């Protein structure tokens, strides 16, 4: 199985990495094209484009100007170690063994507005560019048009290379929409997490994000290869609902 997740807006670029191993993003040249577009934007432009505060727009203006595609461990950090946020709190990579961190290279991919598709140990420099951002570029009006079928093509290459037959979608709708699902050469299974409230089950965004991270950790820690084994997921009181699930959506409730 291969997992795809979304990135996080929050980054920790300062804490020391727990491994010296790293790889370079496959689409770094395309990332540079996006950075060139972003460098045309003033802090005020970025604020309007991304709907962020003046302080954040100034920070990201500076990040764009400082970005350099010659990535090294001195000016960049492994993606899985850099991203923070609810999904990554659930993954809790800081407690991974070195083997689990290395295994994640074969289990996990991170979708990204700037980097396209990241392996866990791919170096990244600090950025903010959500997949849904309407950044005009040479390919069209937004990032979905910019990436086209590139991410899907790379994902299919990865599935074939690693001999994976199932794609586990633990990404948000905004990011998963960057994939051409009809072209994916694997069965797609989407775990969905729901909370009981007043007799009804509903998805609560912040809790679902953490649960996606917990499921990612569960798969990596247990070295799962059979999608049916996902049904045993019982972390933080979640249980699999056979009644609510189907072959493409696995529903977990608590």
Q: Is the pTM of this model over 0.85?
A: yes
Cα 87 versus chain centre, distance: 9
Residue 92 has pLDDT above 90, yes or no: yes
Q: What is the tens place of the pLDDT at every residue in 116-168?
A: 999 999 999 999 999 999 999 999 999 999 999 999 999 999 999 999 999 99
Reported as type and span, the H/E element at residue 239 is: strand 239-240
Q: Please check whether residue 72 lies inside any domain of the structure.
A: no
**25-54, pLDDT tens digit by residue?**
999 999 999 999 999 999 999 999 999 999
Give the other-Cβ count within 10 Å of 208's Cβ.
21
Burial class (CB in 10 A: 0-12, 13-18, 19+), 60: buried
Model pLDDT, residue 27 = 98
| pLDDT the model gives residue 136 | 95
Q: Please report whether residue 65 resides in a domain.
A: no
Q: What does the pLDDT read at residue 212? A: 98
- For residue 51, being part of any structural domain is answered with no
pLDDT, tens digit, 9 for 90 and up, residues 61-79 = 999 999 999 999 999 999 9
pLDDT, residue 53, reads 97
3 state DSSP class of 43: helix
In a domain, 31, yes or no: no
- The answer to whether residue 13 is domain-embedded is yes
Q: Which residues of 216-234 are buried (b: 16+ CB within 10 A; e: fewer)?
A: bbbbbeeebeebeebbebe
Does residue 46 lie within any of the structural domains?
no
Return the SS3 of 172: coil
Residue 218: inside a domain, yes or no?
A: yes
pLDDT at 199: 86
Question: Structural domain tally of the chain?
Answer: 1
On whether residue 60 sits in a domain, the answer given is no
pLDDT exceeds 90 at position 187? yes
**Strand pairing report for 123-124 and 116-118:** unpaired
What is the percent of the chain with per-residue pLDDT over 70, rounded to a whole number? 100
pLDDT by residue (tens digit) across 2-25? 999 999 999 999 999 989 999 999
Q: Which domain holds residue 161?
A: 2-26+78-253
Alpha helices, DSSP H, located in 67-97: 79-82, 86-91
């Amino acid at each position: 199985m291969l997992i795809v997740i979304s990135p996080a807006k929050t980054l920790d670029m300062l804490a020391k990495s727990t491994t010296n191993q790293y790889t370079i993003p496959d689409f770094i040249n395309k990332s540079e094209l996006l950075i060139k577009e972003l460098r045309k934007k003033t802090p005020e432009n970025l604020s309007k484009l991304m709907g962020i505060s003046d302080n954040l727009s100034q920070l990201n203006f500076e990040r764009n100007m400082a970005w350099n595609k010659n990535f090294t461990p001195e000016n960049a950090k492994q993606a899985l170690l850099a991203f923070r946020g609810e999904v990554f709190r659930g993954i809790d990579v800081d407690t991974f063994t070195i083997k689990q961190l290395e295994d994640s290279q074969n289990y996990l991919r991170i979708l990204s507005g700037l980097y396209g598709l990241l392996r866990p140990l791919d170096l990244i420099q600090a950025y903010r560019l959500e997949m849904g951002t309407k950044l005009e570029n040479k390919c069209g009006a937004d990032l979905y048009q910019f990436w086209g079928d590139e991410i899907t093509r790379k994902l299919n290459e990865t599935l074939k290379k690693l001999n994976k037959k199932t794609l586990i979608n633990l990404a948000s709708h905004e990011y998963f929409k960057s994939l051409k699902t009809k072209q994916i050469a694997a069965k797609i299974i989407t775990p969905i997490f729901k909370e009981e409230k007043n007799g009804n089950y509903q998805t609560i965004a912040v809790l679902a994000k953490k649960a996606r991270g917990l499921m990612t950790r569960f798969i990596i820690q247990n070295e799962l290869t059979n999608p049916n084994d996902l049904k045993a997921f019982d972390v933080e009181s979640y249980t699999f609902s056979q009644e609510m699930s189907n072959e493409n959506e696995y529903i977990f409730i608590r």
